[in-house]
Amino acid sequence: MRLTVADNSAALSSEMLNCVKYDAGLCTSCTQIQVPYHEQILLKQQAAAQLLAEVAGQQGFEWLPPAKSELAGFRNKAKFVVGGRGGALTLGLVRPDGAPIDLTDCPIQDPRINSAASILLEFLNSTRLSPYSVTEKRGELKFVLVTVSPLGQLLVRFVVRSLRAVRKLAARASTLRESLPEAVTVTVNLLPEHKAVLEGEEELVLWGAELAMQLEDVTLYLLPQSFFQTNTEVAISLYQQAQEWVKQVGPRRVLDLYCGVGGFSLFLAPEAGEVQGVEISAAAVKAARKAARRQRSNARFVAADATKYALQLPPNKRPDLLVVNPPRRGIGTELADWIRESPEIEWVVYSSCNPRSLAADIARLKNFRIESARLFDMFAHTAHAEVAVLLQRQ
């Protein structure tokens, strides 16, 4: 069976996305789906602007036009909870009462994920493995995680409870490989614990090693446990905006903290004399180094804790432009103090998935001012907002 791409034209006929699961009260993840899209963008920008205005004081700064999302088919990854029963499984959600909700037709997911889900469901049913029950603490299949690249290749991960399930999936791997050739990497993650987490530490490879994400002139390599933005087109806009800011500034040395698999570093490298990426995940750094080699980039990468690495840098090794893309909690007091007290750092590009922690960190950087800001709508139909700012030392 080959993948087919569904037609989303009906869903895109207006600024409102139609979703039968939301209308029926079966899935309410898209909390803003009944708000016209232009209003969603306006509300997000207003909320972010208010937060940043409070820390900017009387200083004015430029809000660039927002980077908007497609209304449908924009999610490049899906987390399916396995429900139902052995031989009659579902992929989607499981309600608190145990009732499964099928989400293999979710309109915000890339249609190639939804097409793949039907093949994956047929494969899992053939194993006769049972879904995991949180309340009963028994069963084998927990999640199916799917990521799609711009060229339609797939990274598929099965999260299971025991080695018995691993062996059953491995025994039928050739069948899946034949029916889903778009899956270039397939792994099984072992999560034996009875706790509310997405994955365990042990990842067993059925085939492949990575997923190539082609982003304009840059190709990133995602490993099974790598982080990547959920909206590919908006992620490209984010990287290109940072690239444009760096082109304007012309820094000699760039330090990219929390660099992940190297997105910012590789986009910025052509515009800077020297680029160093820092990421605590050794696997992500390995992937970033591979991307740099293949693209003959001058970006270099090191596996280290971002704050600890920065604090040990001597003055002559500190950057004149710093890039930070931290977790939702932000960069925190220690790193903010170091930035503030390092006169060598003239510019900061700060990308945040949490405008509140972004505003709190900017408030700590008292000797920097906001020059420019932009909203990136990674998560359409929700209240979540990604905001990037360019800061200059005063």
The residue ranges of every structural domain in the chain are 38-69+231-393, 77-215
pLDDT over 50 (residue 8): no
Q: How far are the Cα atoms of 199, 278, 344 from residue 61, in angstroms, in the given order?
A: 42, 29, 23
CATH 2.40.240.10 assigned to 38-69+231-393: no
Averaged pLDDT for residues 58-65: 85
Looking at residue 267, its pLDDT comes to 97
R_g of the chain, CA atoms, integer Å = 22
Looking at residue 66, its pLDDT comes to 97
pLDDT over 50 (residue 182): yes
DSSP 129: P
CA 329/CA 83 separation, integer angstroms = 32
pLDDT over 50 (residue 2): no
Looking at residue 14, its pLDDT comes to 63
Encode pLDDT of 114-141 as tens digits: 999 999 999 999 999 999 988 888 999 9
Encode pLDDT of 155-179 as tens digits: 999 999 999 999 999 999 999 999 9
Return the exposure string of 182-213: e unless at least 16 CB atoms fall within 10 Å of the residue's CB, then b.
bbbbbbbbbbeeeeeeebbeebeebebebbbb
* Residue 56 confidence class, pLDDT cut points 50, 70, 90: confident
Looking at residue 194, its pLDDT comes to 83
pLDDT over 50 (residue 55): yes
**347 Cα distance to chain centroid:** 25
Apex 304 CA angle, 301 and 307, nearest 5: 115
- Strand 253-257 relative to strand 274-279: parallel, antiparallel, unpaired? parallel
Encode pLDDT of 82-100 as tens digits: 999 989 999 999 988 889 9
Q: 118: which 2 tokens? A: 């039907």
Closest by Cα among 268, 272, 211 to 240: 268
Looking at residue 58, its pLDDT comes to 61
Encode pLDDT of 246-255 as tens digits: 999 999 999 9
Q: 77-215, what's its fold?
A: OB fold (Dihydrolipoamide Acetyltransferase, E2P) (2.40.50)
Encode pLDDT of 219-261 as tens digits: 999 999 888 999 999 999 999 999 999 999 999 999 999 999 9
**Which pTM value belongs to this model?**
0.92
E strand or H helix at 220? strand 218-222
Looking at residue 13, its pLDDT comes to 44
Closest by Cα among 127, 188, 128, 129 to 159: 188
CA 269/CA 259 separation, integer angstroms = 13
Strand partners, 368: 393
In this chain, the answer to whether the domains covering 38-69+231-393 and 77-215 adopt an identical fold is no
pLDDT over 60 (residue 308): yes
> Among 60-64, 187-191, 300-304, 343-347, which is the least confidently predicted range?
60-64
Closest by Cα among 203, 213, 204, 158 to 180: 158
Residues involved in catalysis: 353
